[in-house]
Structure 1
Amino acid sequence: MRRPARVRVAWLLVTIAVLVVVIVASVSIGSRTVSLDEILAALGGSADGLGEASVVKRISRTIMAMLVGAALGLAGAVMQGVTRNPLADPSILGVTMGASLAVVVGIAYFGLWTYTGYIWAAIIGAGIAAVFVYAVGSLGRGGATPLKLVLAGAATSAAATSFISAVVLPRGDIAGGVRSWQVGGVGGASSEAIEQVLPFLVVGALICFLAARPLNSLALGDDLAAGLGERVVLTRAVGALGSVLLCGAATAVAGPIAFVGLIVPHTCRLLVGVDHRWLLPFSALVGAILVTASDVLGRVVARPAEIDVGIITALLGAPIFIAIVRRQKIREV
């Protein structure tokens, strides 16, 4: 599905406008509404201590939501391109829970306590899970079919969740924090966490963008892509590396947030088509909108309490996942 350049540019402007609106809402809305004057006063350093701290916290939370959403949306688009699987998503394929398990093991047995340590552990865990799921899903006839990958990912997620429970239950000193983190959210965002995770996300995004043109060839099939001069194995390896970096780093600082990498690429294909040179940056923008808007929605519906982002995205993503599965089954029939 191709889109004229003017349509893509129009959607780009609309997407940027929506993102600006969501950013303003995220900074303004919460248990206490923050006015524009308070925001400007805090940025100018003329606000009182409590007001300035509240605004700075909101800004950090908004930036974190945008970064995590952009990372997960971009990772999902690349995973779908690498595997040619419309159901590919870091959470569905078990990559997110692999990252989570690695972080929990690092905290429980290796004394990890820095964001950098969490991020490296999550990236290693995400990479191991991705390789394992793809290897298991490739067994038997037909290679790595969408159904086998989803089943392997579901089994891996279930196993990782069980291992996390086994690690956490005997450790009352970490149980509360880990359970809260496992829900997935950006409420604990801080400038320190943003500074630590940003380099990993930038590197992961650059790697993914480098794979954009080769992914277009890969969509035509391995044989045709090879005939066009593309290195199929190298393209898959580069795309997988970028998506693992993004998913691992995002999971380390925000916990496992499901379905963002599934919802966003499918939405973006409807807007700008299948060209990865447009699809990938749009997936990053729409992912940032989705997670930030979900965070705002979680603050509004349960005010003065909050619902974490992971719960909101799961409620949104589950019916979309079912609809995509049903459509795939109809096509196969």
Structure 2
Amino acid sequence: MVLHRVKSKLFGLIIGVLLLILFNFLSIILGYTDITIQTAIDAFTNFNGSNEHIIIQDVRLPRALIATAVGASLGVAGALLQALTRNPLASPDILGFNAGASFSIVVALMLFSVSSLQATTWIAFFGATIAGLLVYFLGSIGRDGMTPIKMTLAGAAIAALFGSLTQGLLVLDETALDQVLFWMSGSVQGRKLEILLAVLPYLVIGLIIAISISNKINILTMGEDVARGLGQRTLFVKLITGIAVILLAGGSVAIAGPIGFIGIVVPHVVKSFAGNDYRWIIPYCGIVGGIFLLMADIGARYVLMPEEVPVGIMTALVGTPFFIYIARKGGKLA
């Protein structure tokens, strides 16, 4: 069911925000350590230093906020990439952005012992940029120029290349394996609030850019010739969109590692009820992306309790069959 009226879409956004708040609260109270609703409220209104209150403030709250920020960023990045490439299967992980950012961070951690949060963030942006440029170059070679299938193949090739290089580095230095292996699987567990605060300005800038160019993206999706005929500077729009994707995808990898499939699942779900107007798609993708990752993270706590499954595995369990379904349907959810 597609929401056609503006009031319906605004109401949907309000419902989405309320659900996002609800799942943040559920993320705080659910897990191996039983926490009541009253205990969770008291942790913020009447902190007493108890073990439960410390877990809420130092572990559960940062985890919920990080899942919200990363999920929202990856959802919006996926929507931007699908519009930019006109490829319904595009997402930061499919097109190699996550793999490029991950490889650059692993190189920095293993070979140069980089530990600064700011340095790690910029390294992730650099890796995502290199991967994006390589995919764009490879996908544009040939007489037909950039096509969706060429972009998908180029992205898969670059993702495989950086993934292989990363695994090769880990084999060469087994002492660093434990340090990066859990991070490589994509997780919001154990992440400190400080790393979110260090990267958050870049994520906010990326989201602001995405919202501000949403109307231009609507025009660009009509086709490059049509966009130029309407006076749009298509190269500038593509460049700004690419910068937003790099900020969102690179920042997310810097915080939580390479979490896949959010960027492909969320935009299709959003389009099924919000339509094809990117002025609505982008904010909806932010909200639904945050909800999706929070749900996946809550589920990851119960699959092998008392152990926890990295949330990247949970998103893959949902995203892989979804990707196959979308591919068989020719890029449409229904």
TM-score range, shorter chain: over 0.9
Of the candidates 135, 138, 161, which is equivalent to residue 137 of structure 2? 135
Q: CA deviation at 1:20?
A: 2.3
Q: CA deviation at 1:98?
A: 0.4
Map of 1:199 onto structure 2: 201
Residues matched between the structures, number: 330
Equivalent residues in 2 for 1:112-151, closer than 5 Å:
112-151=114-153
Q: CA deviation at 1:2?
A: 7.3
Map of 2:155 onto structure 1: 153
Bigger drift between 106-115 and 125-134 goes to 106-115
**Do 1:11 and 1:271's aligned partners in 2 also have CA atoms closer than 8 Å?**
no
> What is the CA RMSD across the aligned residues, in angstroms?
1.5
Q: Distance in 1 between matches of 2:160 and 2:182?
A: 19
Map of 1:273 onto structure 2: 275
SS in 2 for 1:266: helix
TM-score normalised over the length of structure 1? 0.95
The residue type equivalent to 1:10 in the other structure is F
Of the candidates 105, 108, 114, which is equivalent to residue 106 of structure 1? 108
Map of 1:63 onto structure 2: 65
Map of 1:168 onto structure 2: 170
**Do 1:38 and 1:47's aligned partners in 2 also have CA atoms closer than 8 Å?**
no
Q: CA deviation at 1:17?
A: 2.7
SS in 2 for 1:143: coil
Map of 1:241 onto structure 2: 243
Q: CA deviation at 1:261?
A: 0.5
Q: Distance in 2 between matches of 1:45 and 1:189?
A: 25
Q: Distance in 2 between matches of 1:308 and 1:80?
A: 26
| Percent identical | 35
Unaligned runs of at least 5 residues, structure 1: none
Unaligned runs of at least 5 residues, structure 2: none
TM-score normalised over the length of structure 2? 0.95
**Do 1:102 and 1:125's aligned partners in 2 also have CA atoms closer than 8 Å?**
yes
Q: Distance in 1 between matches of 2:150 and 2:48?
A: 56
**Do 2:88 and 2:331's aligned partners in 1 also have CA atoms closer than 8 Å?**
no
Map of 2:300 onto structure 1: 298
Map of 2:324 onto structure 1: 322
Q: CA deviation at 1:45?
A: 4.5
Q: CA deviation at 1:171?
A: 1.9
The residue type equivalent to 1:17 in the other structure is L
Q: Distance in 2 between matches of 1:7 and 1:253?
A: 34
Q: Distance in 1 between matches of 2:76 and 2:27?
A: 21
Bigger drift between 211-220 and 39-48 goes to 39-48
Q: Distance in 2 between matches of 1:306 and 1:263?
A: 23
**Do 2:89 and 2:331's aligned partners in 1 also have CA atoms closer than 8 Å?**
no
Q: Distance in 1 between matches of 2:50 and 2:3?
A: 52
Q: Distance in 2 between matches of 1:265 and 1:88?
A: 10
Q: Distance in 1 between matches of 2:143 and 2:316?
A: 32
Q: Distance in 1 between matches of 2:93 and 2:135?
A: 12
Map of 1:24 onto structure 2: 25
Of the candidates 211, 214, 223, which is equivalent to residue 212 of structure 1? 214
Q: Distance in 1 between matches of 2:94 and 2:308?
A: 25
Q: CA deviation at 1:52?
A: 2.0
